[in-house]
Structure 1
Amino acid sequence: MIGEQGRVTGTVGPGLVGEVMVRVRGGAEAFLAYAAEPGERIERGTVVVIMEYQPPRTVYVASVYG
């Protein structure tokens, strides 16, 4: 999972549990998402990369475009 890209479908940010869709096994699955950098806000539609994965469905993400 680490290094895979996804798209934010629910805003990620302080005090929020966001959502990211990631391509997995030929389909797309939703994961709960938190920002890898504390305090960062990532809006819906942003392409992100997974920096950390905590099974079964939690990821920490950073924007691909900085």
Structure 2
Amino acid sequence: MVGLIGRVTGRIGTGLVGEVMVHVPQRQGSEAFLAYPATPGGPIPVGAQVVVVDYQPPRTVYVEPF
């Protein structure tokens, strides 16, 4: 999961649980994950591309803008 590129479908920010759609090649499709910002900062808007920097099973990722 780490290093994959996704698109924000639910706003991500400090104190907010967002959502991203990530293309998972092993499963040949895209999947939704709960997303938190990897570093504090401004919110990441819907539609922005992000990179996964940490993955916590089963469906949580920490992301940074791409």
**Offset at residue 39 of structure 1 (A):** 3.4
Partners in 1 of 2:42 and 2:35 — Cα distance? 12
What do the CA deviations read for 1:20-48 (whole angstroms, capped 9, x no partner)? 00012111100000001123310000000
- TM-score, normalised by the number of residues in structure 2: 0.92
Distance 2:56 2:36 in 1: 11
Give the structure-1-normalised TM-score. 0.92
In structure 2, list runs of 5 or more residues that go unmatched.
none
> After TM superposition, where is structure 1 displaced by more than 3 Å over at least 4 residues in a row?
none
Number of residue pairs matched?
64
Gaps of 5+ in 1: none
